[in-house]
Chain A
Amino acid sequence: MGWFKRSARKTPQNEIPEGLFAVCPRCKAHIYKDEYESAFKVCPKCNHHERLTAAERIELIVDKGTFREFNSEIKPNDPLDFKDAKGSYRQKAEDAIAKTGLNEAVVTGSGDINGTRAVIAVMDFRFLGGSLASATGEKILLASEHALRMKRALLIFSASGGARMHEGIVSLMQMAKTCAGIARLDRAGLPYISIMTDPTYGGVSASFATVGDLNIAEPGALIGFAGRRVIEQTIKEKLPDDFQTAEYLLEHGFLDSIVNRGEMKDYLHRVLQYSLGKKV
């Protein structure tokens, strides 16, 4: 490793054509970018699943040309008129919108999964850490109401650091709000599948993400209520390396399955065939 690093530094950068390789964030292997992208950012060497944007996720899961987004115009609210040391939340939200091209941390719509139509919500971690706030909660509730009206399954892909502090108590209430939507689907006998991706924490794991009829996760995804650091500080001991990984959760009984990204679409399709018997 040492000699490689040194020689790499001496090599003029333009010797490797720009953008030909990607580097796996976990095992640091150099991977052909084409191969990496076509595998939806899964490392062929170590099976690390890199985080996806909402658009990439939709491309991966939904049949081409069938996704119809709804409520995309819903933008962050600023119920507290929140300002911190670094400025206003309003500005922060504007910056996130400019950076991601999204209006909120979740994209919702309907689309087909191998021909089976479903309502789909996909969180995007790039947008303020995928945090749950009023507009996020609103979009998820509206998605559940849409599923209820259309008698379709609801699928939510989570990726979130938790509740968005900048909306204070209003963001906390989105936990109750989204769960109320899930409860209605439950009573109507409609399927709700939760897919947890890296990371799923706090207000999202403690609300809709963990109460799926099926709870699915991607390999290696970190999932928990409190963060590792907070827990280590509280209990004053070191936690095992695999703490809060999807594999750890599966072992403790909180997941139905861990599904590789490449197999996710077919897996969901197969599952949906079992779950829609009452309604379709």
Chain B
Amino acid sequence: MNLEFENELAEIEERIAELSKLDSKEHPQLNKDIGALRRKMKSLTRRIYENLTPWDTVRIARHHDRPLFKDFIAGMCSDFIELHGDRRCGDDKALIGGFATIDKHRVMLIGMVKGRTVDEKVHHNFGMPNPEGYRKALRLMKLAEKYGLPIVCMVDTPAAYPGREAEERGQAEAIARNLTEMAGLEVPIVVVITGEGGSGGALGIAVGDAILMLRYAVYSVIPPEGCAAILWRDAERAPEAADALKITAESLLDLGIIDQIIDEPPGGAHRDPETTIERTREAVVETLQRLKRQSTARLRDNRYDKFARMGRVKKRRSKSSK
């Protein structure tokens, strides 16, 4: 998949590939030329990525080659034991989780799976969980609380699935229950927005003590296309809506919604998934170490205050607790 703002990059990449096929003995200039192209590519990449619009960022967040949850599991964890089922209705394929070991930390790892091939995408419902996904996530989080394991949630979903059965099985209630229960969990919760943070579907596993976000991930109350269709009466004006909605990591840090941006390598995670995953692992480990030092009561009070602060309109007289 090509992003049109990366066309120039793709051309240079192609040229480098062509030149690399030639024999350097016949073309003494070859290595020099390739080196020059690489340098050009590097500076061009930097220039493009320094001037991305929010809409460009949406496109990167949805990029075909962007690392997905399963890539993060493979790259971050020395052990992963998937645990299936919500014990009520089924086993959601879009939202999975299980015991995981990241460095020395044993955690409960939960996240959305999008899939890369067409078959995978269909199997995982394009990363759009049904209620049983959120209920499975909650079951695993409660288990984590019982065993004293920190929770790591990795968010990458366009939305909670808007389907008939999803409604019949209480999509709204499933998400609402998670928000309510996660507010009170007595273990640290680290959230990483890795790709698309699609509204309530994302938030359903994103109430945490630390919210980290990859540089070119997005997190929004509504997809820009949907917002444009409603407020601009034209889905084609999504780039304007993306701008107005302030959905980039930079904006969300300013707004106090997220705590930390994890930098992606030049040219985005899709150019260098390994480095992206490694940096994510480092950031998660650092955060776990910090949060593990806090008492559970303090952790819970801080989590409450963190969300109470978001969009605060009024100064408070006194802080209530418990």
Binding site for B on A (CB under 8 A): 71, 74-75, 77, 79-80, 82-86, 133-135, 137-138, 141-142, 145, 148-149, 163, 165-177, 179-184, 186-188, 202-203, 205-211, 223-226, 230-231, 234-235, 237, 239, 243-244, 252-254
Contacts and interface: CB of A to CB of B under 8 A. Distances in A.
A180 B181 CA distance: 8
Contacts of B308: 141, 177, 180-181
A184 B232 CA distance: 40
Contact-size category for B: 35 or more
Contacts of B20: none
A170 B257 contact: yes
A259 B220 CA distance: 36
Given A138-B313, A176-B203, A183-B181, A85 B255 contact: no
Contact of B320 (A148, A224, A244): A148
Contacts of B160: 206, 225-226
Given A170-B257, A170-B310, A187-B184, A179 B169 contact: no
Interface string B188-225: 00000000000110011011000000000001111000
Given A169-B257, A225-B166, A234-B162, A179 B179 contact: yes
Interface in B215-257: 219-222, 227, 230-233, 237, 241, 244-247, 252, 255, 257
Contact of A138 (B161, B180, B204, B311): B311
Contacts of B244: 80, 82-84, 168
A173 B170 contact: no
B303 A133 contact: no
A169 B207 contact: no
Contacts of A234: 161-163
A206 B172 contact: yes
A210 B176 contact: yes
Contact of B312 (A134, A184, A208, A231): A134
Contacts of A209: 172, 176
Interface centre among A171, A179, A207 (most CB of B within 10 A): A179
B311 A137 contact: yes
A160 to B, nearest CB: 12
Contacts of B175: 175, 206-207, 225
Nearest to A173: B310
Interface centre among A82, A177, A224, A252 (most CB of B within 10 A): A177
A123 B215 CA distance: 37
27 contacts: A80-B246, A82-B244, A135-B313, A138-B313, A165-B230, A167-B311, A170-B311, A171-B221, A172-B200, A173-B307, A175-B203, A177-B310, A177-B311, A179-B176, A180-B207, A183-B184, A188-B322, A205-B172, A206-B175, A206-B200, A210-B170, A210-B173, A210-B176, A211-B180, A224-B167, A225-B171, A244-B167
B27 interface: no
| Interface class of chain B by DSSP | helix
A206 B176 CA distance: 5
Nearest to B231: A84
A141 B304 CA distance: 11
Given A176-B182, A254-B173, 18 more contacts: A85-B233, A134-B310, A137-B311, A149-B320, A163-B200, A163-B221, A176-B206, A177-B308, A177-B311, A180-B207, A180-B308, A182-B180, A183-B180, A210-B172, A210-B177, A225-B172, A243-B167, A252-B168
Contact of B303 (A180, A208, A235): A180
Contacts of A254: 170, 173
Given A167-B311, A168-B246, A169-B255, A235 B163 contact: yes
A166 B93 CA distance: 33
B183 interface: yes
A205 B176 contact: yes
A207 B173 CA distance: 7
Nearest to A244: B167
B314 interface: yes
B177 A211 contact: yes
B311 A226 contact: no
Nearest to A148: B320
Nearest to B134: A206
A203 B321 CA distance: 26
A209 B176 CA distance: 8
B233 A170 contact: no
Nearest to B232: A85
Nearest to B311: A134
Given A79-B255, A165-B245, A168-B246, A142 B183 contact: no
Nearest to A194: B176
A202 B160 CA distance: 11
B159 to A, nearest CB: 8
Contacts of B312: 134, 138
Nearest to A177: B307
B320 A168 contact: no
Contact of B183 (A145, A173, A176): A176
A224 B173 CA distance: 9
A172 B180 contact: no
Interface centre among A224, A226, A253 (most CB of B within 10 A): A226
A142 B314 CA distance: 10
B196 to A, nearest CB: 13
A3 to B, nearest CB: 40
B200 A225 contact: yes
A176 B161 CA distance: 19
Contacts of B303: 180
Contacts of A74: 313-314
B314 A80 contact: no
